[in-house]
Amino acid sequence: RILILGANGQIGSELAAALRLKFGVDNIITSDIREPRERAENEIFELVNVLDKDRVKQLFEQYQPTQVYLLAAMLSATGEQYPQKAWDLNMNGLLNVLDLAVDLGIKKVFWPSSIAVFGPHSPKVDTPQYCVMDPNSIYGISKLAGERLCEYYHKKYNLDVRSIRYPGVISWKTEPGGGTTDYAVHIYFEALRNGAYTSFLSEQTELPMLYMQDAVRGTLELMDAPADKLSIRSSYNLAGMSFTPKDISEEIQKILPSFEISYTENDPRQAIADSWPKRINDDYARKDWGWKPSFDLETMTKDMIENLKSTI
């Protein structure tokens, strides 16, 4: 049985769908702080606040999950508006899950980190697994601290906790909220709704990105990998593609020639994006568990527009 905490979010909701397909709907328990807008047929859903340790413990005891995915978090842009809340949710939510997983013998835990753990003095190109990491967003600080905790709990308690430093993840099923990379999601929605988009990041802002299908496949491949193959117990660098708002708008124009992009200045998210790398090196993921992305900007754009056309 698998319990997903934070199953309503952009990644949680699609991991839940993939896990239901893989293990059957009766073996997946989804949970979040509020009811989901819609549920899959026969989906088992529970309300939970990951900061309520007794309630999380109750779910662990009731469902006896062999795996727990903790996807509940506050992302970078929202985190800058509520830094104390972001720290509390991202850190104490993780600590609750790590402690309960050790106490109750959960076999495997997944926790998402982010390229936000890198900062202004990290190498911008071909950013390695190990380097200077001086994140200056509360989200990035909480993810860096979280990675250290995961590695500590693995070494001290032999907890099989696994993690990926996601780039910006792009998907069409949910309109994600609160991320700095979310311009690359909204641009597709706006391209179809209004034929135009105003980007809050400048046209040359290059960021590492990953299509949701690749993010989900990479996560399941990591979780399926033999434990003795994993040399990283903080969090794995994972790369898909890197592009700028200019690149993505030109790719959209190949399909929607009349699409127009414009740019705002001085959005607070620009400073967050400028502190992050442009291109990530993911040699460890490729070596340890055979990671390889399958979508690039062209194939992702085709897939996004095709799917959004049928939903918008």
Output the smallest distance, CB 206 to ligand VAH, in A: 13
Q: State in angstroms the smallest separation of the CB of 62 from ligand VAH.
A: 31
Number of residues engaging ligand VAH in binding (CB under 6 A): 11
Residue with the CB atom nearest ligand VAH in the bound state: 179
156 to 185: interface string for ligand VAH, x by CB under 6 A: -----------xx----------xxx----
| Residue 42 C-beta: closest distance to ligand VAH, Å | 30
Catalytic residue among 63, 69, 139, 197: 139
Is 234 a binding residue for ligand VAH by CB under 6 A? The answer is no
* Residue of 56, 115, 161, 222 interacting with ligand VAH (CB under 6 A): 115
Q: How far is CA 279 from CA 118, 141, 238, in A?
A: 11, 20, 10
Q: HEC states along the chain?
A: CEEEECCCCHHHHHHHHHHHHHHCHHHEEEEECCCCCCCCCCCEEEECCCCCHHHHHHHHHHHCCCEEEECCCCCHHHHHHCHHHHHHHHHHHHHHHHHHHHHHCCCEEEEEEEHHHCCCCCCCCCECCCCCCCCCCHHHHHHHHHHHHHHHHHHHHCCEEEEEEECEEECCCCCCCCCCCCHHHHHHHHHHHCCEEEECCCCCCCEEEEEHHHHHHHHHHHHHCCHHHCCCCCCEECCCEEECHHHHHHHHHHHCCCCEEEECCCCHHHHHHHCCCCCECCHHHHHHHCCCCCCCHHHHHHHHHHHHHHHC
The answer to whether 119 contacts ligand VAH (rule: CB under 6 A) is: no
Query: Could you say which residues in the range 88-107 bind ligand VAH, by CB under 6 A?
Result: none
Closer residue to ligand VAH in complex, CB, 65/76: 76
Contact code string over 122-141 relative to ligand VAH, x by CB under 6 A:
-----------------x--
One of 13, 30, 31, 76 touching ligand VAH (CB under 6 A): 76
Measured from the CB atom, is 179 or 245 closer to ligand VAH? 179
* Closest distance to ligand VAH from the beta carbon of 104 (Å): 29
Minimum Å gap between C-beta 43 and ligand VAH is 25
Contacting range for ligand VAH; rule: CB under 6 A; set: 63-71, 112-120, 121-129, 236-244: 112-120
Taking the complex as a whole, how short is the minimal distance between the CB of residue 294 and ligand VAH, in angstroms? 20
- Verify whether residue 139 is a known catalytic residue: yes
- Pick the binder of ligand VAH from 3, 4, 50, 75 (CB under 6 A): 75
Q: Does residue 56 touch ligand VAH according to CB under 6 A?
A: no
Q: Which is nearer to ligand VAH, 56 or 215 (CB)?
A: 215
Q: What is the spatial distance between Cα 135 and Cα 183, in angstroms, rounded to a whole number?
A: 21
Are 96 and 56 a contacting pair, CB within 8 Å?
A: yes
**What is the distance between the alpha carbons of residues 127 and 2, in angstroms, rounded to a whole number?**
33
**Rama region for 105: left / alpha / beta (φ>0; ψ in -120 to 50; rest):** left
Catalytic machinery residues: 139
Q: By CB under 6 A, name the binding residues for ligand VAH.
A: 75-76, 114-116, 139, 167-168, 179-181
